[in-house]
């Protein structure tokens, strides 16, 4: 599974407060003596500043928001949005004016944005974005108790960051289980499995890097090498320090596309499972779009619902740890997963901003939705993501994985149709590639002429089918307006999820 987007807010960075799914998280604040425990499914820590959900204001004799002057008139969502325009100095000054604004100006999401925009040079991770940005050790950070601050905007990220999530990967209904297979032949994959998710339990265990790559070994060999972690480039040593000492709602996810050259990997360090056959994008040579990534992340990290770029398929091989997957097929006739909104042209996928928020709000509904597939991919296993499938991925523990996107012959039509019909959504190609579809067709003509001819015939049947249907249903076009509704059927064989 490769994600070709700025994952700092996952695939939903353009979501406004008003466009989120309206269902609210039911918050019950409890105390716990075991911090950040995934095993404790009943209790979570109290907010470090004592902030409480907004509903508690109804039973309190005091509300610190009244001390915020004219800013008290603003909804908390709007106030937080305005604070995003302030710099570090302004946040520090404003946070000294009253308890309510102190709590808001200490929101780590604000400081994370400041850090990403202009990372301090030579920083060392201090346990939070604010402390790291200001280079403050924990013992030097003031902690004013804000027991009379009531705000869902402040409490929700904390609640989501500490609510147990492992339970959502348990008790998977039999009908939802992603099939687990020892291995497949190339013929079996093409005939039966190219359009279905599945987990292979054998191929990754044969990789030379399996068993030798751990967080410790990578830190020892590549600690000074910079890797891409969402929107920042950090030395691996800095990222591992962050990974082991953070409490983010959406932990920073290392997702590097240039790892092979940075680590001087030989071609046989790991090999795609043979069953997937040839990757037709290989015919593009150096012009092919980004296709492989190293993924490292702590427990609770991952990616919210998305589809892989350019209608490609993907495989994700887990080297350490384990990942929970929940997946849905997609087609023009199927709705998106519960809680997910897709724009009319399919270019934008909107969902809750964090994995935890989605699972807390929508997991029960999603699990009961027809077409839902779930599974856990463990160390030494590889999961197949078919072209066009929505998927959400949650790391159940600290994990290392390698993933690649590819174009199997069985899904060539989908990729060609995407490149041809959605040029504004094509991604990952170099800037000098101005016509990805034309280039792909040209190279296929050289390398796989028979496959190209078959794919073009299917595309023409699809296009012709639409034209014939419009003629039958609309009659004489001269008597119809251009805005009339039309629809058509594609090749049934190629639309089976």
Better pLDDT: 491 or 409: 409
- Residue from 34, 249, 49 nearest 162 by CA: 249
Domain 166-425: top CATH class: mainly beta
Tokens of 107: 């929101």
Q: Which residues of 413-427 are buried (b: 16+ CB within 10 A; e: fewer)?
A: bbbbbbbeeeeeebe
pLDDT band at 350 (very low <50, low <70, confident <90, very high): confident
Q: What is the pLDDT of residue 197?
A: 98
For residues 206 and 380, what is the distance between their CA atoms, to the nearest angstrom? 9
- Residue from 276, 278, 260 nearest 268 by CA: 260
DSSP for residue 283: G
Beta strand spans in 208-310 (E): 226-229, 232-235, 254-256, 292-297, 302-306
Torsion of CA 408, 413, 415, 420, to 10 degrees: 160
For residues 412 and 459, what is the distance between their CA atoms, to the nearest angstrom? 10
Is the confidence at residue 37, as pLDDT, over 60?
no
Better pLDDT: 121 or 71: 71
pTM: 0.83
Beta strand spans in 114-253 (E): 180-181, 198-200, 226-229, 232-235
Q: How many CB atoms lie under 10 A from the CB of residue 383?
A: 26
The mean predicted confidence, pLDDT, of the chain is: 86
Q: What is the pLDDT of residue 235?
A: 96
Is the confidence at residue 437, as pLDDT, over 60?
yes
Q: What is the pLDDT of residue 229?
A: 94
Q: Which of 32-41, 69-78, 261-270, 478-487 has the lowest mean pLDDT?
A: 478-487
DSSP for residue 52: B
Tokens of 1: 């599974």
Mean pLDDT in residue range 354-375:
96
DSSP 175-187: GGBPPEES---HH
Q: Which residues pair with 199 in a beta bridge?
A: 180, 383
Residues 6+ apart with CB under 8 A from 496: 195
pLDDT band at 333 (very low <50, low <70, confident <90, very high): confident
Is the confidence at residue 329, as pLDDT, over 80?
yes
Q: How many CB atoms lie under 10 A from the CB of residue 484?
A: 10
**pLDDT more than 90, % of the chain:** 76
Mean pLDDT in residue range 217-227:
97
Query: What are phi and psi for residue 4, nearest 5 degrees?
Result: -100, 75
DSSP for residue 262: H
For residues 217 and 400, what is the distance between their CA atoms, to the nearest angstrom? 12
Q: What is the pLDDT of residue 348?
A: 78
Assess contact for 316 and 292: CB atoms under 8 A: no
Q: What is the pLDDT of residue 400?
A: 98
- Span 392-406, pLDDT tens digits: 999 999 999 999 999
Mean pLDDT in residue range 442-462:
93
Mean pLDDT in residue range 327-348:
87
- Span 43-89, pLDDT tens digits: 557 899 999 999 999 999 999 999 999 999 999 999 999 999 999 99
Q: Which of 18-32, 126-140, 482-496 has the highest mean pLDDT?
A: 126-140
DSSP for residue 331: -
Alpha-carbon distances of 19 from 30, 244, 400, rounded to whole Å = 30, 33, 33
Domain ranges of the chain: 45-162, 166-425, 448-495
């Amino acid at each position: 599974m490769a994600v070709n987007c700025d994952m700092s807010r996952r695939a939903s960075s353009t979501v406004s407060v008003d466009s989120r799914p309206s269902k609210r998280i039911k918050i019950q604040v409890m105390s716990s003596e075991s911090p950040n425990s995934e095993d404790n499914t009943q209790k979570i820590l109290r907010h470090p500043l004592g902030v409480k959900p907004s509903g508690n204001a109804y039973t309190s004799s005091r509300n610190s928001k009244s001390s915020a002057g004219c800013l008290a008139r603003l909804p908390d969502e709007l106030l937080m949005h305005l604070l995003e325009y302030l710099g570090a100095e302004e946040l520090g000054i404003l946070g000294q004016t009253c308890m309510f604004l102190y709590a808001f100006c200490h929101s780590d999401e604000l400081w994370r944005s400041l850090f990403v925009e202009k990372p301090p040079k030579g920083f060392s991770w201090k346990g939070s974005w604010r402390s790291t940005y200001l280079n403050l050790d924990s013992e030097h950070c003031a902690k004013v108790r804000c027991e009379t601050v009531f705000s869902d905007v402040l409490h929700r990220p904390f609640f989501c960051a500490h609510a147990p999530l492992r339970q959502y990967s348990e008790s998977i209904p039999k009908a939802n289980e992603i099939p687990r297979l020892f291995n497949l032949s190339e013929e079996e994959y093409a005939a039966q499995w190219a359009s279905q998710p599945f987990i292979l339990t054998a191929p990754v265990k044969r990789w030379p890097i399996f068993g030798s790559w751990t967080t410790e070994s990578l830190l020892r060999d590549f600690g000074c090498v910079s890797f891409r972690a969402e929107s920042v480039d950090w030395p691996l040593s800095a990222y591992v320090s962050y990974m082991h000492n953070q409490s983010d709602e959406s932990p920073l996810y290392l997702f590097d596309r240039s790892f092979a050259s940075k680590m001087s990997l030989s071609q046989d360090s790991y090999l795609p499972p043979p069953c997937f056959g040839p990757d037709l994008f290989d015919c593009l040579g150096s012009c092919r779009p980004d296709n492989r990534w190293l993924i490292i992340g702590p427990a609770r990290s991952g990616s919210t619902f998305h589809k892989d770029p350019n209608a490609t398929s993907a495989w994700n091989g887990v080297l350490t740890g384990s990942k929970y997957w929940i997946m849905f097929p997609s087609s023009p006739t199927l709705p998106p997963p519960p809680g997910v909104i897709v724009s009319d042209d399919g270019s934008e996928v909107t969902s809750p901003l964090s994995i935890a928020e989605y699972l807390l709000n929508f997991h029960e509904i999603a699990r009961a939705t027809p077409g839902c597939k779930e599974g856990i991919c463990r160390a030494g296993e590889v999961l197949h993501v078919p072209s066009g499938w929505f998927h959400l991925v949650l790391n159940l523990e600290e994990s290392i994985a390698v993933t690649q996107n590819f174009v199997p012959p069985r899904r060539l039509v989908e990729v060609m149709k995407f490149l041809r019909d959605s040029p504004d959504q094509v991604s990952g190609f170099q800037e000098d590639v101005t016509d990805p579809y034309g280039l792909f067709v040209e190279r296929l003509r050289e390398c796989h002429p028979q496959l190209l001819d078959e794919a073009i015939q299917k595309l023409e049947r699809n296009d012709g089918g639409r034209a014939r249907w419009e003629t039958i249903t609309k009659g004489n076009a001269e008597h119809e307006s251009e805005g009339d509704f039309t629809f058509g059927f594609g090749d049934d064989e190629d639309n089976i999820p």
